[in-house]
A = this chain, B = another copy of it.
Amino acid sequence: MTKNRPTILITNDDGITAPGIRKLIDIMHRIGDVTVVAPDKPQSGMSHAVTVAFPLMLHQIQNENRHLEFSCTGTSVDCVKMGIKVVLGRKPDLVVSGINHGNNASVNVLYSGTMAAAMDAAMENIPAIGFSLDNYSLNANFDGFEKHIETITRNVLKNGLPPYTCLNVNIPYVKPSEIKGVKIVRQGKGNWIENFDRRIDPHKRDYYWLAGHFVGSDNNEDTDTWALNNNYIAVVPIHIDLTAHHAIDKLAEWDFSHES
């Protein structure tokens, strides 16, 4: 370890064996000293969940001393917390999460374990980036996007991020040569149209699979959804203040005296 190499903590939510995180580890080795703490099983859709009802375990992965690596029985947010407190014993210079199999643009950021890991680092004021590829398959090809990921990461290390902020980076799943560049954008509006697929189990009980599809409702050129659909890498700065500041003055006019 040389003093100039940043300490980088890596996690994801697809689990430690997912191709996305293996690619991200390779890329980060070019940039800094890598430590990996990632879930031992898929934790997609777990959002900012933390494990408080039962204890957590770490299992060290052997990799010929290439870097320190542990699988963790918890969520991606648990992994960030354990990586900092138990494995490193100090804050890293950077937390990177991903590369997620599937996009986390628009409101998907709210369900995403990948982004929750980055946001948890932001809560500790550690620079953090969540990377996602717009393809849900575990067989997606991550080759060709390395330079973009490296450039974005080096920018964060060089320039820093505003306090308590992280980046949500979504990469379109097109031929790498077709990528038009990187665009700084805002979270686009959209929502999931859910449906529940009802089935009957062998004991004659109803059970339901959650399914659905995302519908974007915001095609402005300054949104992550537009950028992705137009072959740009979408970079959204994300913060942890959920206050709808614009609504405060209006609500302050309400009458909260009791009616009776």
Interface residues of chain A, those whose CB is within 8 Å of chain B, are: 42, 44-53, 55-58, 78, 81-82, 85-86, 107, 109-111, 116, 119, 123-124, 147-148, 150-152, 154-155, 159, 161-162, 164-165, 168, 181-182, 184-187, 189, 191-192, 194-196, 198-199, 205-210, 235-248, 250-252, 254-260
Contact = CB atoms under 8 A, between A and B. Distances in A.
B191 A123 contact: yes
Contact of A244 (B48, B195, B239): B239
When A and B form their complex, which 6 residue pairs have the shortest distance between CB atoms, in order from nearest? Answer: A47-B48, A239-B244, A237-B247, A182-B256, A237-B244, A186-B243
5 contacts: A55-B207, A57-B205, A85-B195, A147-B260, A238-B244
Contacts of A250: 162
A166 B151 CA distance: 38
A210 B81 contact: yes
B52 A210 contact: yes
B186 A245 contact: yes
Nearest to A54: B209
Given A56-B207, A57-B205, A123-B192, 15 more contacts: A48-B48, A48-B111, A50-B210, A51-B210, A57-B206, A57-B207, A58-B206, A81-B194, A86-B196, A86-B208, A110-B123, A148-B258, A151-B259, A159-B254, A186-B245
Nearest to A47: B48
Given A48-B48, A155-B255, A56 B243 contact: no
Per DSSP, are chain A's interface residues mostly helix, strand or loop, or mixed? mixed
Contacts of A248: 184-186, 237
Contacts of A235: 251
Contacts of A244: 162, 165, 237-239
Contacts of A155: 254-256
Contacts of A110: 48, 116, 119, 123, 240, 242
A86 B207 CA distance: 11
Contact of A243 (B150, B191, B236): B236
B247 A162 contact: yes
Contacts of A46: 46-47, 49
Given A85-B194, A123-B110, A195-B85, A151 B258 contact: yes
A39 B259 CA distance: 33
Contact of A196 (B42, B85, B205, B252): B85
A208 B56 contact: yes
